[in-house]
Amino acid sequence: MKTIIDFLKAKKEKRKITMISTYDYWSAMLCEKAGIDTILVGDSLGMVIQGRNTTLPVTLEEMIYHAKAVRRGAPNTFIVVDMPFLSYQVNKDEATKNAGRILKETGANAVKLEGGEEIAKTVEKLVSIGIPVMGHLGLTPQSVHALGGYKVQGRTLEQQKKIIKDAKILEQAGVFSIVLEAVPSKLAQEITDFLEIPTIGIGAGNKTDGQVLVLHDLIGIFEKTPKFVKRYMEAGKMIVESLEKFKEEVQEGIFPDENYTYE
């Protein structure tokens, strides 16, 4: 993906979009090497990197710091940056200034905002001044307290109607793509079918136009991951085994031997 036009083209050509949420130089470098279409600098870094229970405390400065590192690691990849909680909800002017800072200071290509109708005017404003916006519906982690926890959304008819309405409103407001998180596959398919813009699913089945996962989940860093995560490797276990081996070899005087020693 080079521009937002490539997202629309991918949908038209029925080519699935791949997105990885990650937060630093080395992992962005590996995503670019693997040909991942787009990197999301997600505010999930609050949990994955900072060890918090929610994404709410993450600041704009922290997002900018991580997005700069990601851009250095992936100079040729389309990068989307999450706008953190309270950086876009207060008013349109603040949202514009903050989204502008993200693009200016990090070299990212787009921002992502959580929510539907309530942020539509802000989306319109950002898009009108040339800031590409990705939407995010379903389980929106910045609203975890209002949602009563990290729960699948769109199980009731009322919730389904609201998510569908929000998706239409966001498309109308000008987003170039929408993340659908933790919604039933049928609902994600319905939304995907009526939108012209692509949907990117996480815990939303395989009928969306693309998929996103957090890198640390898919490589198995943590012991537990949600149902929708496929663990492509067990990196957490491998790292611990390497560290244990290092400790043992140092304690026994095996490392460093002459291969790792200057004359």
Q: Considering the rule CB under 6 A, would residue 214 count as an interface residue with ligand KIV? A: yes
- For residue 153, state whether it binds ligand KIV (rule: CB under 6 A): no
Helix boundaries (H) for the chain: 4-12, 25-34, 45-48, 60-73, 92-106, 120-128, 144-147, 157-173, 185-194, 215-218, 235-251
Stretch that binds ligand KIV, among 42-50, 84-92, 148-156, 169-177 (CB under 6 A): 42-50
- What are the tokens at 112? 């992502």
Out of 105, 181, 244, 263, which one is annotated catalytic?
Answer: 181
Q: How open is the CA angle 150-23-88, to the nearest 5 degrees? A: 60
43 lines the binding site for ligand KIV (CB under 6 A): yes
- Residue 24 CB, shortest distance to ligand KIV, in Å, is 13
The C-alpha atoms of residue 137 and residue 159 are separated, in whole angstroms, by: 11
| 26-34, 40-48, 90-98, 239-247 -> range binding ligand KIV (CB under 6 A) | 40-48
β-bridge mates for residue 17, sequence order: 210
Helix (H/G/I), strand (E/B), else coil: 202? strand
Q: For ligand KIV, which residue of 18, 21, 189, 208 counts as binding (CB under 6 A)?
A: 21
Three-class SS of residue 187? helix
Number of residues in the chain:
263
Q: Considering the rule CB under 6 A, would residue 180 count as an interface residue with ligand KIV?
A: no
- Alpha carbons 199 and 166: distance in angstroms, whole number: 13
| Residue 190 engages ligand KIV in binding (rule: CB under 6 A) | no
Is 124 considered catalytic here? no
42 lies in the site for ligand KIV, by CB under 6 A: yes
Does 179 bind ligand KIV (CB under 6 A)? Our answer is yes
What's the closest the beta carbon of residue 214 comes to ligand KIV, in angstroms?
5
Which residues, in sequence order, are bridge partners of residue 40? Answer: 21, 80
Q: Binders of ligand KIV among 231-260, rule CB under 6 A?
A: none
Q: How far is the CB of 181 from ligand KIV (least distance, A)?
A: 6
Binding site for ligand KIV (CB under 6 A): 21, 40, 42-44, 82, 179, 181, 202, 212, 214
Active-site residues, by number, are 181
